[in-house]
Structure 1
Amino acid sequence: MSNKVTDKIAEVAESVLSTTDFFLIDVEIKGGDTPEVWISIDAEDRGVNMDECADISNEISFLMDAHDIFSGKYRMNVSSPGLSRPLVDRRQYPKNKGRQAKVKYKENGEYRKVEGVLREILKDEIIIELEDESTLAVPFDDLVETKIIPSFK
């Protein structure tokens, strides 16, 4: 699918989400005879439950149909990004404070990777506590990828 279709879906999704405390993370369209629209949403200070995803899915589908984004059938999937997805929006960081993370960042033109606990989320950077209890400040502008490591304690 073209970026134009994805952009239109994102625009519709953002209009629906603007009346909630959720924000848009991503829109993907997977091809096939029946296109599948995957919309990832998140909230700054809480998780996303299935009932909320269903309500948002219904609203977005209604508006997509009203705007004739697809001429035929399609499938809609609205969900939280899940732990397997990297954090892509600054608003996702505060609720993950205190959690273990793998962080890839760029420093002086080179890629570096560290693993540690997200100790502080500041306006322009994150502070990671490393295994040796030292801390590392990484500016948001230098972040390449941050993935939360699930804890099953």
Structure 2
Amino acid sequence: MKTILAILKKAGGWRPSLYVKIENPPYLSLVIEATDESGPLGLPAISVCHYGEQNGDAMRDPEMCFELGYAGGAHLIPYYWRNDYVAVEQVSRAIIRDHYVALTALQKQHEKFAETWDNNLRLQQYEEAFTDKCILG
């Protein structure tokens, strides 16, 4: 997720009040925001989401949540994927009854999707569309 990390850097880095919204027509808006809770490993977490609209409702297309790791350099570790248009929600890593649970095959799918999505965001020039006016929190 090099594109997202580059945008985060331009936005001043992770913070609890982080909220960035990038409008990049003709593509869907991209929202990057800090989550209220840490990720499954206790690391800071962000939600990255394309928002569309259906019948006046905001629709995630998709949303992914990532933990922000720093060991070996800044990197994003996915653990959640959701798409409202197809009514699918997936959690690949979580704390369940005080135990860390990782669904490794699903985790690999999330990592692969994140790579593809990041490449699309790069090609669609979301980093270039970012300005200080995109920082809303």
TM-score by length of 1: 0.24
Q: Report which structure shows greater RCO (CA 8 Å, sep ≥6).
A: 2
Structure of higher CA gyration radius: 1
